[in-house]
Amino acid sequence: MSDIKGQLVSGAMKLMQTDAARKVMASQQFQNAMAFAFRATFKVRNEVDGAKKKVANGFNLVTKDEVRELRRNVERLERRLRKAEKKSQDDAE
């Protein structure tokens, strides 16, 4: 499978080096189409994420983003605790 992907990437790189491909990529229509595609992708992703969050909340479940945020908070608190313990030990000496 990765061999096919490598061949596709290699072929795409060769294609992008041609004058015709450069002209197409430089055209305003192509740039507008790419901008539209990125905006549409972003919009769809946000809508899907919102729908997932609604479903998770409806079933009283946590989302992956909420778990990630909680993990970050716990790690931050653990670092603060280690610093406070170290300071307490240094002050005791």
pLDDT of the chain along its 93 residues, tens only? 678 999 999 999 998 899 999 999 999 999 999 999 999 999 999 999 999 999 999 999 998 889 999 999 999 999 999 999 999 998 887
Q: Is residue 80 part of a domain?
A: no
Q: Is residue 32 part of a domain?
A: yes
**Total domains present in the chain:** 1
Q: Is residue 7 part of a domain?
A: yes
Using the CB atoms, write b or e for 52-72: b if 16+ within 10 Å: eeeeeeeeeeeeeeeeeeeee
Q: Is residue 14 part of a domain?
A: yes
- Which amino acid is present at 46? N
Model confidence, pTM = 0.55
The residue written with tokens 């716990």 in the block is 74
Q: Which domain holds residue 12?
A: 1-47
Give the up-direction half-sphere exposure of residue 1: CA atoms within 13 A in the CB hemisphere.
0
Distances (CA, A) of 6 to 3, 14, 16, 40: 5, 12, 15, 27
Q: Is residue 15 part of a domain?
A: yes
